[in-house]
Amino acid sequence: MKSIFTLLLFLSLMLNVQSQEILETGGKKMPTSWIDKDTKHRIVKLSASLEGNSQSFYFHNYPFLANEMVFYNSSKQKAEDVTDMKHVEAAQLNLNNKQLYTVDLASLTTKRITNERTAMNGEVVCDQTKTVFYQIKDSVFALKQGVSKPKLVFVFPADFKSGISAVNVNGTLLSGSFATEAEKEILKNNPNKGSFFNLIYEAKLPKTLFTIEVATGKLNKIFTDSAWLNHVQFSTTNPNLLMFCHEGPWHKVNRVWTIDVVTKAITQIHHRTMDMEIWGHEWFGKSGKHIYFDLQQPRGKEFFVGKYEVATGKESKYRLQRNEWSVHYTSNATETLFAGDGGDPGAVAKAPDGQWIYLFTPNGDHFDAEKLVNMKKHQYKLEPNVHFSPDGKWIIFRANFEGESQVYAVEIKKS
């Protein structure tokens, strides 16, 4: 009986796969699921049941609660307003009805989990405590999975208005970086990244890293520097290790640093070995043993993903071809596979054929690349920001190749 059931299930799955349309990806309204004609990989629209624009999280912000993924939807948001503006205050963005939702990755059932009157900011999820943290104006809230009412965690004081951007692995600390009013004024008057990026870097304004104790609401100012401190993220295993960057033109900054929030010990991650060498868009591997980053030696010429061993400082790197360079990379739970979201010809790599979602397999000192999604209809003003699904079988990304921002998953196994 069991073998008959297995056979029937297999035939059902095969019929489902065979019924999938093989289509060019983007340039028109897409079905809920299809097979990319150029890669032969299946794509599923995770946000298909919702109207308006949906966005998945930034590449290093963990979005999963077991088999559910947290994401944003904004039913009134305009497609031209959808962009990755990590350095801009929430009030400057036209986000209208931006709320948090979850999608069950097995059933594809979506559920709205916040019902606030005001749009929110955050992208902070603690898998261990099954809690989503988000912020409305000066107030930080915690919402446990399965609980409908959020809990107020912290209110920023009038002289220290800032925002959260990270939570540690055991959910005891939140963190972020505090900017001066002078920096906020530069952002307000120069909303385009091409304008504010150099202006803030050149201003050399003080910026402060801080933590918030979730249980008590205590604010701790842990480090101040006359540099643009950004990309704050905790180790995936060490609750006291915080990573941050010196933001600005990458060829002018020593980009990646860590700080122990208890001892305040600071470590620079990677050192420049040549003129115009750049590294950044860093993230912790799931094991917590390694930090990975986009490495170019020199900028726009030779492309790698760098690997730094946290315990020893030992480094290695994987070479990529120009077309394989990606705005962001990520790694799976075992750090045996990597993914990249590609880039358009105007990006730093100037790649003529780089608009793909990629799967990378380490092979000695380089990556073997496989194309998963053709992104030629996607406008890279919206960064796709790839994530591996918890089971490691899918890569999740956001895209606007239908004309609005939606959240998708591409199956790693070919259909």
The pLDDT tens digits for 185-235 are 998 899 888 789 999 999 999 999 999 999 999 999 999 999 999 999 999
Q: What's the pLDDT band for 87 if we cut at 50, 70, 90?
A: very low
> In this structure, are residues 138 and 156 in contact, taking their beta carbons and an 8 Å threshold?
yes
pLDDT value, residue 209 = 98
At residue 95, does pLDDT exceed 80?
Answer: no
> Taking a C-beta distance cutoff of 8 angstroms, is the pair 235, 222 a contact?
no
Cross-sheet strand order for the sheet of 166-167: 166-167, 173-179, 207-213, 219-225
Residue 106 included in any domain: yes
* Residue 73 belongs to domain spanning: 33-414
Mean pLDDT of 318-326: 98
* Per-residue model confidence (pLDDT) at position 13: 45
pLDDT of residue 194: 78
Residue 88 inside a domain? The answer is yes
pLDDT in the model for residue 249:
95
State the sign of the Cα–Cα–Cα–Cα dihedral 162, 164, 168, 173. positive
- Number of C-beta neighbours around residue 14 at 10 A: 10
Q: What CATH number corresponds to the domain at position 329?
A: 2.130.10.10
Residue 143 has pLDDT above 80, yes or no: yes
* Percent of the chain whose predicted confidence (pLDDT) is above 90: 84
Flag whether 16 is in a domain. Answer: no
Strand ordering across the sheet containing 33-36: 22-23, 33-36, 41-45, 406-414, 394-399, 387-388
User: What tokens were used for 370?
Assistant: 């496989």
Q: Phi, psi at residue 220, to the nearest 5°? A: -120, 120
CB 282, CB 231: distance < 8 Å: yes
Confidence bin at 355 (pLDDT 50/70/90) = very high
Confidence (pLDDT) at 16: 52
141: in domain: yes
Average pLDDT, the chain: 91
- Where are the extended beta strands (E) located within 137-289? 139-144, 151-155, 166-167, 173-179, 207-213, 219-225, 229-234, 241-246, 256-260, 266-269, 278-284
Q: What is the pLDDT of residue 96?
A: 59
Best-predicted range by mean pLDDT among 5-19, 94-108, 193-207?
193-207
Confidence (pLDDT) at 395: 98
The pLDDT value recorded for residue 84 is 39
Verdict on whether the full-model pTM lies above 0.85? yes
Q: Is residue 370 part of a domain?
A: yes
Stretch 150-163: mean pLDDT, rounded?
Answer: 97
Q: Flag whether pLDDT at 9 surpasses 50.
A: no
How many CB atoms are located within 10 Å of the residue 295 CB?
24
Domain count, the chain: 1
Residue 13, classed as helix, strand or coil, is: helix
Domain membership of residue 6 (yes or no) is no
Name the band, by pLDDT with cuts 50, 70 and 90, for residue 24: very high
Check pLDDT > 80 for residue 377: yes
What gap in Å lies between CA 382 and CA 404, rounded to an integer? 10
Give 216-221 contacts, CB < 8 A, sequence gap 24+: 217/153, 217/154, 219/154, 219/157, 219/160, 220/261, 221/178
pLDDT of 292 > 60? The answer is: yes
| Domain assignment of residue 386, yes or no | yes
Long-range Cβ pairs for the range 374-379 (8 Å, 24+): 374/24, 374/25, 374/26, 374/36, 374/37, 374/38, 374/39, 375/25, 375/26, 375/341, 375/342, 375/399, 375/401, 376/26, 377/25, 377/26, 377/27, 377/401, 378/26
- Residue 113's nearest CA partner among 145, 67, 154 is 145
Instruction: Report if residue 75 sits inside a domain.
Output: yes
Model pLDDT, residue 119: 79
Q: Are 383 and 350 in contact (CB under 8 A)?
A: no
The residue-averaged pLDDT of 356-370 equals: 98
Residue 181 has pLDDT above 50, yes or no: yes
Q: Is residue 245 pLDDT above 70, yes or no?
A: yes
pLDDT value at 42 more than 50: yes
Give the burial class of 169: count Cβ atoms within 10 A of its Cβ; 0-12 exposed, 13-18 middle, 19 or more buried. Answer: buried
